[in-house]
Structure 1
Amino acid sequence: MTYEQFTMQTVGPAGASAPSREGDPSKDFITVGRREHDRKSFEASVSRMRQAEGNNVVVFVHGYNYSYQEAVFRLAQLKAEAGAHAVPVLFSWPSQADFRGYVADRDSTTYARDDLVQLLTMLSRSRSGGRVTVVGHSMGAWLVMEALRQLRLQGRGDVIARLQVGLASPDIDVDVFRKQVAIVGRLSPPLTVLVSNDDRALAVSSRITGGKPRLGAAKVDDPEIQKIAALNGVQIIDISTLPSNDAFNHDRFVTFAARYSTAERDRTAGGFRQAGVFLLDTTGRILSAPFNGTAQIIAGAQ
């Protein structure tokens, strides 16, 4: 596993002065510095940044068909959109960054599992008491769940107890997720899953895997999905009404992160802290839904 630290110029005010490299910081994310670390210096650097950023860390695990560079800038966008006071850490596994490389990417996530366990164990050692939030997107969500499963089987509940976990558009077979979460057990705060039943990227994934339904494209009124949530203390949030910046409706989690952050600051997101199935209406309001049928509430149609 290798370690790197990037210094970035993120979105700034119109007319801001650009650094001495290509790009306009009023519109772009620009890398203005890069430093290689060994494990010891990386851990020390993160520790210093935690003291400056409020002690919390956000680990982003990218999905299938992502280059390393794309993942770096996606994390920069997430930090800018959410406005979070946390140290952003990218866990990048060796994706083919090619739409045709699905099977190879799946093998790569398996290869990277031990390294993610090692990283989460390292970050959890901090005595500061800050959170370690882990966000797995798409195939990266499968990797996150496998890492949690491995930690649990190794008896590392102390590491898991320090984590707050979110899965965005998870590319995970629903039956596989049922097995994973049963071993991982209930998390506190609850494991959060963001779903969109019109996610075209996951529709392609389902076809590639022989028609197996993907968790990230689940319908929240599906009794089986509701059962998984109830038995395992999982909160499932339908974000299909939010705008997407890509044609595949696969990146809505970025919009969700920004709206959730705003709701938290306004103290209007209390329902997020409960386990269950939730719906997000077209204005971004959180609607807690009972387990006896919720289709009529979708998209604010109460």
Structure 2
Amino acid sequence: MSTAGSGSRVELAAYGRSWLVHAIAGFLALVLSACASRPGPEVLTPVAATVPGARTVTVYVATTRERASPGRNVFTTERSARLNYAEFSISIPPGHKAGEIEWPGSTPDPATSFATIRQTVLDEETFRRRVGSRAGRRHDVGVFVHGYNTSFQEALFRLAQLSADSQLDTVPVLFAWPSEAAITGYVADREGVTYSRDYLAQVLSMLTRERSVRNVAVIGHSMGGWLTMETLRQLRLQGRGDVLARLQVVLAAPDIDLDVFRTQVAAVGRMSPPLTILVSKDDWALAASSRLSGGRERVGTLDVEDVRVQAIARQEGLRVVDISTLTAPDAFNHDRFVSFAAVYSAVAPRGGSGDPLRQAGAFVFNAAGTVLSTPFTLVGQALAGEPIR
């Protein structure tokens, strides 16, 4: 047997051991996360009052989840035959740390934790009127489409946190689809987002019809990115270019097969501003999804240094942003978009004209909030925010 052959076997064995270590680590992480306590619907029960220094964020909800009972804002994992609407006011504690959700214990305390201080069941007309009304001023709306294994209350409080940290004058809207909120619910969640495509299209169409709404930003996280892209594709095929023209779309760690994404992009076409994709090469959640899909590459793990990715970004008018250098609030490196939202909102130029991330291309975004063309770019290029060429 040749030395080269022996070396190949050693390399394969080493690769196998490495994969096994990561697989075991991932399995243990999944077990631990499954065993960890998660907030139940009790956190949606309003508390009596707020405290000095606390901030209040009002989140509007459109959901395909079924209500546990009529007239109550407690939602199950069942699919509703029509959209349900709600309004929640969430108190953010005075000592809130950006990027984190200070979850309440058995009794929510506005002094130390997120707390629901008010909630209201809405009908469609009231939802439309309240989201569209801002004392006669034109304003932007931000729609958050959550990801896999997410409960209603987790999605709600995450959007409240994102809204509080961004400090932008944008009305937050949660589009909540019926996730099983279980590690074992991946297939069921995939069917849940498929079920919700028509309903998300309905919500986006409604919001873009409002004259007081300037732009609608859509953030689709993980499996919510797949739902977002399918909805954009559907709108394009239905000839709803008027709706697409009003949207600004960000896909955060999208759990989408790369080949499927190419067909979606081909149908949707170029968007202005360009469709943004936030990626991390070390996203373990997407690595697990890839294994479940037979090793198919996920869009959320694209490598911006790959010349093929750079070419696709230029050809299709996309902006792919690597945020791997940012701190991840979760063990899977899957929620880095939370850190990106906090940092980027603080450094992004207002008005958009000087923002390098308004152009298509492949970028690296570092922890200091600097947009780089490559990890080894010259300082001048970094400050200019030039895309990879």
- On whether the aligned pair clears a TM of 0.5, the verdict is yes
- Does the Cα contact within 8 Å between 2:258 and 2:298 map onto a contact in 1? yes
Q: Following the alignment from structure 1 to structure 2, what is the Cα–Cα distance between the partners of residues 151 and 267? A: 27
- Which digits, 9 at most, give the CA deviation of each residue in 1:162-215, with x for residues without a partner? 000000000001111111011111111110100000001101110111111100
User: Shift of residue 224 of structure 1?
Assistant: 2.7
Equivalent position of 1:238 in the other structure: 322
Equivalent position of 2:338 in the other structure: 254
Structure (1 or 2) with the larger CA radius of gyration: 2
Which aligned pairs between 1:170-249 and structure 2 lie closer than 5 A?
A: 170-249=254-333
Letter in 2 for 1:79: S
User: Shift of residue 128 of structure 1?
Assistant: 2.4
Letter in 2 for 1:243: T
Q: Following the alignment from structure 2 to structure 1, what is the Cα–Cα distance between the partners of residues 95 and 338? A: 21
User: Shift of residue 248 of structure 1?
Assistant: 0.3
Are 2:130 and 1:45 aligned? yes
Residue identity over aligned pairs, in percent, reads 53
Which aligned pairs between 1:1-302 and structure 2 lie closer than 5 A?
A: 1-12=83-94, 22-48=107-133, 50-51=134-135, 55-128=139-212, 130-265=214-349, 270-287=355-372, 289=373, 294=374, 296=376
Equivalent position of 1:18 in the other structure: none
What is the aligned length?
Answer: 287
Letter in 2 for 1:125: R
**Helix, strand or coil at the partner of 1:236:** strand
- Which digits, 9 at most, give the CA deviation of each residue in 1:67-118, with x for residues without a partner? 1110000101110111111110000000010011111100110000000000
Q: What residue ranges of structure 2 are gaps of 5+ in the alignment?
A: 1-82, 97-105, 383-389
- Does the Cα contact within 8 Å between 2:222 and 2:253 map onto a contact in 1? yes
**Helix, strand or coil at the partner of 2:164:** helix
Cα 1:31/1:117, change in 2 over 3 Å? same
Letter in 2 for 1:29: F
User: Shift of residue 220 of structure 1?
Assistant: 0.8
Equivalent position of 1:17 in the other structure: none
**Helix, strand or coil at the partner of 1:2:** strand
Q: What residue ranges of structure 1 are gaps of 5+ in the alignment?
A: 15-20
Q: Following the alignment from structure 2 to structure 1, what is the Cα–Cα distance between the partners of residues 138 and 269? A: 28
